[in-house]
Amino acid sequence: MKVVLTEFVTLDGVSQGPGSPTEDISDGFTRGGWLVPYFDEAFVRQTVDWLARADGLLLGRRTYEAFARDWPRITDPDDPFTVRMNALPKYVVSTTLAEANWRPATILTGLADVGELKQSSGGELQIHGSARLGNALLKAGLIDVVRLVVAPTIIGSGRRLFEHPGDTAGLRLTEQAATPSGLLLLEYETVGAAPVAEYEGVSAFV
């Protein structure tokens, strides 16, 4: 399976609390809910399509517990995500979680378990939220695809998505689109270390 990191971010790279002012107030964060004003039909259509490609969800403990609390409570029959989110297999990377009640669920104790899971046949193993887990997997070379929904907003504080010490990560843009509300929908493949070069004038590029 491919491991796919799907994240919502602001233009200044913040991924914390996109859906509500109270979604994630850790570290005193008070500026959540920044993605919701830009929801539109194109955004919903694309995210439904992405979720349809998943054969499983890969989550960190905090995100798993938040999703397990919230998704089973959604009863709107027209919600395009609920049935899929509740039915997909969940794989939780945690050394502290004793039991996973939002089923079907499997607890993984480390990144090596994720590496083994990648060898399974199937489509996509998708990470939603779980930015810390995504960073750790990116550093370990276990992310195959990065999907970003970039909101046209700068909020100036909050936990940023890509904050991982260690090796660089190179990405190749494979898909791009913009919604009428101004969201950028970007898909990248990982290509190992980020390339570098020295500028030698424009003649080298024309």
Reported as a single tens digit per residue, the pLDDT across 52-70 is: 999 999 999 999 999 999 9
- Residue closest to 50 by CA, chosen among 15, 14, 5, 89: 5
Tokens 């994720």 sit on residue:
114
Mean pLDDT of the chain: 93
- Residue closest to 34 by CA, chosen among 153, 204, 169: 153
Residues 6 or more apart in contact with residue 93 via CB below 8 angstroms = 58, 59, 60, 61, 108, 109, 110, 111, 113, 114, 133
Query: Are residues 138 and 5 in contact, defined by beta-carbon separation less than 8 angstroms?
Result: yes
3-state secondary structure of 202: helix
Angle between helices 131-139 and 111-118 (to 10 degrees): 70
pTM of the shown model: 0.92
Estimate to the nearest angstrom the gap between the alpha carbon of 96 and the chain centroid.
22
pLDDT at res. 164 = 65
pLDDT at res. 147 = 97
Distance between CA atoms of 174 and 23, rounded to whole angstroms? 31
Q: Per residue in 179-200, pLDDT tens?
A: 999 999 999 999 999 999 998 8
3-state secondary structure of 200: coil
How do 184-190 and 145-151 pair as beta strands?
antiparallel
Q: Which domains are present in the chain?
A: 2-194 (3.40.430.10)
pLDDT at res. 172 = 97
How do 124-128 and 184-190 pair as beta strands?
unpaired
pLDDT at res. 202 = 85
Question: How much is the CA Rg of the chain, to the nearest whole Å?
Answer: 18
Q: Per residue in 143-171, pLDDT tens?
A: 999 999 999 999 999 999 988 667 889 99
143: left (phi over 0), alpha (psi -120 to 50) or beta: beta
